[in-house]
């Protein structure tokens, strides 16, 4: 487009260093010449706004403490709904803050990258008896949001949740252009936030079963597994690195024997592609995943690793030992994953589709607004003509 768009990105839930937002979407918008503001809980996560954008600090919405963050988000949206072209929302919570904004001219886009209704069944802060009710409310809220805003989907599997077709910009990653290191290190890696449903207990037990291999955890841990992980790290069972900046974290993947994704059999994981699996492949690391449909299909189709049963630490340990003893096999799997990621899962390509999707949404909303204005002017003109005739 000839005039750069003004985009406001908003989250009150995600870490401001969230890879999809901070390291993929935001740079894509800046590279396209757009003016970008990024509103996120920087202070709450002890992060600093990235250079080249206007950083706006918001409170964090966590557990049952969400009202203050949504109230401030609402005030921000109200103040900027006529000064920016696009508001890109990353949390379903923010849909409430965006409803009925007076005199709004900005296009509001919800980036759907989670199965909200299924995720509520896993939230420890949600009272168990109320989870089905909250889940049903989330489904109704999604359909209402579809009628009010533009939607951008992160997974093709999310399309069945909605009544209309919406553009899909997958959770791909930036695939390095240089060939990856051959998987030669005597260590396996886990990348991302660790929780019990994400296989935290299995990961610690795996480290106990294969003491001859280093199990390296790169990322923070939630409260449900944090104490166990810290104790295992103190005993030297795992190498827990904690949060690391994105470029440093990805650098730790190179040369690893295997990348772990031991998600449980949960509805929220049924159709979502774990980004960590794609990151492992992009860096030439063989993958060990549980059989949730999306990662299972990807790993089997790409020939980039092994699928182990849910909770089967023995099988995961067997695979690790097998690859540790068979250099040719792990090199073959790592190469297959890298080649597939380069061809099909590269954000360096998908970034253009992301930018184009936002531009198209803005043009459609502008066209709708002009048609509405023209209709109003025609009606008013007819009324004036009738008044004159009288």
Residue 126 or 84, more confident = 84
The pLDDT of residue 66 = 86
The pLDDT of residue 118 = 63
Those residues with Cβ within 8 angstroms of residue 213's Cβ, 6 or more apart along the chain or in another chain? 186, 187, 188, 257, 320, 321, 324
How far is residue 120 from each of residues 8, 224, 242, measured CA to CA in Å? 27, 16, 26
The pLDDT of residue 125 = 59
Terminal-residue alpha carbon distance, the chain:
47
* Average pLDDT in the chain: 90
Confidence category of residue 372, pLDDT binned at 50, 70, 90: low
Domains and CATH numbers, the chain: 6-171+347-378 (3.40.50.2000), 187-344 (3.40.50.2000)
Minimum mean pLDDT range among 26-35, 172-181, 323-332:
172-181
The pLDDT of residue 385 = 55
The pLDDT of residue 1 = 44
Confidence category of residue 267, pLDDT binned at 50, 70, 90: confident
pLDDT for residue 390 is more than 80: no
Strands 258-261 and 187-191: parallel
Mean pLDDT (whole number) for 249-273: 92
Mean pLDDT (whole number) for 201-217: 97
pLDDT for residue 87 is more than 90: yes
Q: Model's pTM, two decimal places?
A: 0.86
The pLDDT of residue 338 = 97
Neighbours of 33 (CB within 10 A): 11
Confidence category of residue 171, pLDDT binned at 50, 70, 90: confident
The pLDDT of residue 381 = 55
Minimum mean pLDDT range among 139-148, 330-339, 345-354, 357-366:
139-148
How far is residue 100 from each of residues 85, 96, 147, 152, 232, measured CA to CA in Å? 17, 9, 13, 20, 50
Question: Quick one: what percent of the chain has pLDDT higher than 90?
Answer: 72
pLDDT for residue 199 is more than 80: yes
Q: Which residues pair with 190 in a beta bridge?
A: 217
Give the gyration radius of the chain's Cα atoms.
Answer: 23
The pLDDT of residue 379 = 47
The pLDDT of residue 116 = 66
Phi, psi angle pair for 201, to nearest 5°: -65, -40
Mean pLDDT (whole number) for 347-352: 94
pLDDT digit string (tens) for 20-42?
A: 999 999 999 999 999 999 999 99
The CA-based dihedral angle spanning residues 209, 214, 219, 223, taken in that order and rounded to the nearest 10 degrees: 30
Phi, psi angle pair for 167, to nearest 5°: -65, 145
The pLDDT of residue 65 = 84
The pLDDT of residue 389 = 56
Confidence category of residue 191, pLDDT binned at 50, 70, 90: very high
The pLDDT of residue 350 = 94
The pLDDT of residue 345 = 95
pLDDT digit string (tens) for 4-20?
A: 899 999 999 999 999 99
Phi, psi angle pair for 361, to nearest 5°: -60, -40
């Amino acid at each position: 487009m000839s005039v750069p768009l003004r985009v406001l990105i908003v989250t009150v839930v995600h870490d401001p260093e969230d890879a999809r937002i901070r390291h993929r979407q935001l740079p894509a918008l800046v590279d396209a010449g757009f003016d970008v503001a990024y509103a996120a809980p920087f202070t709450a996560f002890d992060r600093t706004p990235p250079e080249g954008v206007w950083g706006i600090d918001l409170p964090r919405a966590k557990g049952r403490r969400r009202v203050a963050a949504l109230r401030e988000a609402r005030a921000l949206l109200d103040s900027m709904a006529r000064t920016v072209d696009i508001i890109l929302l990353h949390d379903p919570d923010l849909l409430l803050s965006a409803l009925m904004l007076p005199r709004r001219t900005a296009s509001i886009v919800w980036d759907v990258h989670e199965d909200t209704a299924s995720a509520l069944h896993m939230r420890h802060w949600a009272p168990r008896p109320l989870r089905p009710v909250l889940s049903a409310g989330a489904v109704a809220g999604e359909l209402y949001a579809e009628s009010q805003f533009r939607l951008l989907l992160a997974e093709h599997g999310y399309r069945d949740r909605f009544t209309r077709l919406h553009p899909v910009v997958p959770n791909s990653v930036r695939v390095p252009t240089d060939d990856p290191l051959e998987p030669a290190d005597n260590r396996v890696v886990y990348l991302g936030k660790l929780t019990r449903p994400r296989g935290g207990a299995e990961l610690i037990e795996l480290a106990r079963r294969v003491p001859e291999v280093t199990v390296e955890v790169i990322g923070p841990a939630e409260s449900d597994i944090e104490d166990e992980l810290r104790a295992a790290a103190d005993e030297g069972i795992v190498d827990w690195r904690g949060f690391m900046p994105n470029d440093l974290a990805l650098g730790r993947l190179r040369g690893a024997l295997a990348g772990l994704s031991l998600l449980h059999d949960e509805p929220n994981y049924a159709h979502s592609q774990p980004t960590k699996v794609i990151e492992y492949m992009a860096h030439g690391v063989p993958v060990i995943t549980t059989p949730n449909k999306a990662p299972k299909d990807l790993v089997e189709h790409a020939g980039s690793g092994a699928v182990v049963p849910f909770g089967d630490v023995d099988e995961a340990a067997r695979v690790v030992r097998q690859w540790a003893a068979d250099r040719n096999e792990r090199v073959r799997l790592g190469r297959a994953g890298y080649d597939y990621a380069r061809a099909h899962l590269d954000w360096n390509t998908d970034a253009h589709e992301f930018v184009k999707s936002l531009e198209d949404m803005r043009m459609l909303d502008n066209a709708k607004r002009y048609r509405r204005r023209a209709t109003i002017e025609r009606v008013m003109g007819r009324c004036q003509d009738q008044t004159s005739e009288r």
